[in-house]
């Protein structure tokens, strides 16, 4: 199992044009540069079609998939198997993002599959209750993301600090060693500082960096929030 230390920044490239194809490569290189400068681990979550391209273009940056499906290799046209993302070079995957949610039993199945393949998992939850439910399934990280704040520029750590704190408490009550992250609306250093104050051990974000005119600069500012 690849170890990802905390605090950590997980950047979801989503399907933005700015995070697709050669743009994904340039964004990944910015992630790698800021990681080297700051010492804060940065993980790039890229589209399945870009995994191999990005992994082949960076040195030590950790790359994960944005999603994978709980299906076995075989007759599953259009699905993304854990084996496929691994062979493309990804070290793991996001599971249950607000934009690609799965039933709890499918999340459980994926975590088991990932463990069997030594793949890293970060499972998203939209409430403290859901965070507790997925924490019991044994993922490597849990991240809370209220859907209503995603992409708004209104930070979860500012708008809902009690939610962040509640998630951290629920997750750590189940497993004190399980990192709890937060995401949605995070765009600046102060958002990170607030998240850390509530106990979060990392952030999961997308548009605040991917759509920025200066992704490298924004990443550098966010990383400074952990120091």
- Domain with 109 in it: what CATH number? 3.20.20.70
Is 3 contained in some domain?
no
Position 140 confidence tier, pLDDT thresholds 50, 70, 90: very high
Could you give the residue numbers annotated as active site? 97, 145
| Global confidence as pTM | 0.95
b vs e for 174-210, b when ≥16 Cβ sit within 10 Å of the residue's Cβ? beeebbbbbbbbbbebebbebbbebbbbbbbbbbbbb
- Please calculate the CA angle 111-28-10 and round it to the nearest 5 degrees: 40
In a domain, 46, yes or no: yes
Is 100 within a domain? yes
User: Could you report the per-residue pLDDT of 179-201, keeping only the tens digit for each?
Assistant: 999 988 888 999 999 999 999 99
Residue 53 lies in a domain: yes
Neighbours of 52 (CB within 10 A): 16
In a domain, 148, yes or no: yes
Domain boundaries, position 119: 8-224
pLDDT of 1 reads: 65
Is residue 144 included in any domain, yes or no?
Answer: yes
> CA 180, 16, 33, 225 torsion: positive or negative?
negative
Does a structural domain hold residue 197? yes
Phi/psi of residue 79, each to 5°? Answer: -90, 165
Q: Is 2 among the domain residues?
A: no
Overall domain count for the chain: 1
pLDDT tens-digit series, residues 202-217: 999 999 999 999 999 9
């Amino acid at each position: 199992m690849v170890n990802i230390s905390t605090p950590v920044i997980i950047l979801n490239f989503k399907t933005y044009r700015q995070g697709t194809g050669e743009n994904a490569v340039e964004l990944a290189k910015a992630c790698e540069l800021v990681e080297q400068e700051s010492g804060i681990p940065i993980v790039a979550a890229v589209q399945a079609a870009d995994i191999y391209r990005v992994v082949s273009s960076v040195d030590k940056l950790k790359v994960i998939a944005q999603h994978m499906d709980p299906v076995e290799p075989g007759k599953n046209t259009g699905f993304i198997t854990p084996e496929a993302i691994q062979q493309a070079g990804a070290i793991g995957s996001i599971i249950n993002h607000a934009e690609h949610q799965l039933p709890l039993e499918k999340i459980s199945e994926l975590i088991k599959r990932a463990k069997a393949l030594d793949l890293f998992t970060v499972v998203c939850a939209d409430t403290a209750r859901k965070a507790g439910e997925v924490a019991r399934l044994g993922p490597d990280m849990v991240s809370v993301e209220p859907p209503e704040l995603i992409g708004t520029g209104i930070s979860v750590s500012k708008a809902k600090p009690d939610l962040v704190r509640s998630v951290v408490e629920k997750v750590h009550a189940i497993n004190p060693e399980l990192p709890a992250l937060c995401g949605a609306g995070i765009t600046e250093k102060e958002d990170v500082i607030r998240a850390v104050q509530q106990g979060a051990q990392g952030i999961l974000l997308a548009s605040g960096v991917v759509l920025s005119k200066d992704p490298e600069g924004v990443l550098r500012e966010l990383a400074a929030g952990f120091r």
